[in-house]
């Protein structure tokens, strides 16, 4: 067994008050009996981290809190009950830090719905620190051949869109509109959709996001900032002009929902994933009934979904470009995200 030298102090980004994150030194914690200590090498920055920073969701967050829930690193210490992870293994911090594993949701592997779920970077400290404690039962198992920077966004963005595509019910050959396709979740959604045999239609704003979406394999790019008629443009990109079989709503805005309800194919499904602060959806009852439209929510995924999402990455069928910044540069990544300027994902380099 490898022995790791663990420092007593480490660098972290701490939200001490809503709206600001502070780069500072803090103590390193020791893992409890059912926990592991992960030396985080890279952590993706999800738009959810920005919601946590701004405190704009109707969900209580702890303060102070260390954000981050796409953390990939090396297990450097573990508690006495942890028998299926070895020191030196690669592991990942995801949004679901823990769940009770015993309630009626947990035993059906609907663990994100557990009443006792703890959330990384929100109700417990996350991966914007060099040494993060995580529950062994829930950490993502990452195969040794993986590039830790590239796999980090799979831990939330990849997992979430893979699960969303699964529950969309779209069959191979079917089409899916991806709203917010130029962002972190969206870029990966294009890749998973292709890998699952679906035809992805990308919707976002700006030419650089358009280029990225087409490079990743979208069949069409529709720019919501310039399109005169998004509903007509989306329908025109589908077979018989009947609209896509499903829509993945990934934007941190509720505006596109009203369009989605108009262009989704009859008998199709709208999957709500993006969580705009204060967002609301209005479903016209007549359309929902006579066109048999399904509207559902999808919230990260369970441990099996995580393993499957990582498998696609390992097989090389999911590969999205990302940019790397330093842990101390988190605030500037948030500033770009607020302005919707980020194409794909930013990944922070957390430790050497």
The C-alpha atoms of residue 44 and residue 184 are separated, in whole angstroms, by 9
Select the binding partner of residue 250 from Zn ion, ligand 8ID, none (C-beta < 5 to 8 A, by kind). ligand 8ID
Q: Applying CB under 6 A, does 46 fall inside the site for ligand 8ID?
A: yes
Contact 324, 347 (CB under 8 A): yes
Contact 69, 120 (CB under 8 A): yes
What residues between 156 and 215 interact with ligand 8ID by CB under 6 A? 156, 160, 179-180, 182-186, 203-205, 209
**Integer CA distances (angstroms), 45 to 207, 264, 302, in order:** 23, 30, 20
Token reading at 301: 């995924």
Q: How far is the CB of 192 from ligand 8ID (least distance, A)?
A: 13
Q: Is the peptide bond before 126 cis (omega within 30 degrees of 0)?
A: no
Compare residues 94 and 135 and give the one whose CB is closer to ligand 8ID.
94
Chain position whose Cβ is nearest to ligand 8ID: 183
Compare residues 65 and 82 and give the one whose CB is closer to ligand 8ID.
65
Count of Cβ atoms closer than 10 Å to residue 70 Cβ = 34
Q: Applying CB under 6 A, does 261 fall inside the site for ligand 8ID?
A: no
Select the binding partner of residue 203 from Zn ion, ligand 8ID, none (C-beta < 5 to 8 A, by kind). ligand 8ID
Closest CA to 243 of 273, 287, 206: 287
Compare residues 23 and 299 and give the one whose CB is closer to ligand 8ID.
299
Compare residues 47 and 245 and give the one whose CB is closer to ligand 8ID.
47
Closest CA to 162 of 140, 125, 192, 185: 192
Which residues lie near ligand 8ID (CB under 6 A)? 46-48, 51, 156, 160, 179-180, 182-186, 203-205, 209, 224, 250-253, 255-256, 273-275, 298-300, 337, 340, 342
């Amino acid at each position: 067994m490898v022995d790791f030298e663990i420092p007593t102090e480490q660098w972290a980004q701490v939200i001490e008050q809503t709206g600001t994150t502070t780069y500072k030194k803090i103590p390193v914690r020791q893992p409890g009996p059912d926990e592991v200590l992960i030396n985080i090498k890279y952590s993706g920055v999800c738009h959810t981290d920005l919601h946590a920073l701004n405190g704009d969701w109707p969900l209580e967050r702890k303060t102070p809190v260390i954000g981050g829930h796409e953390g990939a690193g090396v297990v450097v210490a573990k508690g006495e009950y942890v028998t299926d992870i070895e020191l030196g293994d690669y592991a990942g911090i995801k949004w679901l830090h823990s769940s009770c594993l015993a309630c009626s949701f947990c035993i059906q592997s609907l663990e994100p719905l557990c009443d006792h779920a703890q959330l990384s970077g929100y109700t417990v400290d996350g991966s914007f620190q060099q040494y993060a404690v995580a529950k062994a039962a829930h950490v993502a198992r990452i195969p040794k051949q993986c590039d830790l920077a590239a796999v980090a966004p799979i831990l939330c963005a990849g997992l979430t869109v893979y699960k969303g595509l699964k529950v969309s019910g779209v069959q191979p050959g079917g089409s899916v509109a991806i709203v917010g396709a130029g962002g972190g979740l969206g870029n990966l959604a294009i890749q998973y959709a292709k890998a699952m045999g679906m035809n992805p239609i990308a919707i976002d704003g700006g030419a650089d996001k358009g280029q990225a979406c087409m490079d990743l394999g979208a069949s069409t790019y529709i720019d919501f900032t310039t399109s005169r008629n998004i509903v007509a443009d989306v329908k025109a990109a589908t077979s018989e002009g009947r609209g896509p079989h499903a829509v993945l709503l990934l934007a941190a805005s509720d505006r596109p929902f009203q369009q989605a309800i108009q262009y989704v194919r009859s008998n199709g499904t709208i999957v709500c994933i993006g969580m705009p602060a204060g967002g609301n959806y209005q479903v016209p009852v007549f359309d929902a009934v006579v066109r048999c439209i399904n509207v559902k929510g999808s919230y990260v995924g369970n441990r099996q979904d995580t393993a499957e999402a990582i498998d696609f990455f390992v097989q090389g069928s999911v590969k999205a470009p990302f940019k790397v910044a330093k842990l101390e540069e988190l605030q500037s990544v948030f500033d770009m995200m607020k302005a919707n300027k980020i194409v794909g994902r930013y990944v922070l380099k957390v430790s050497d």
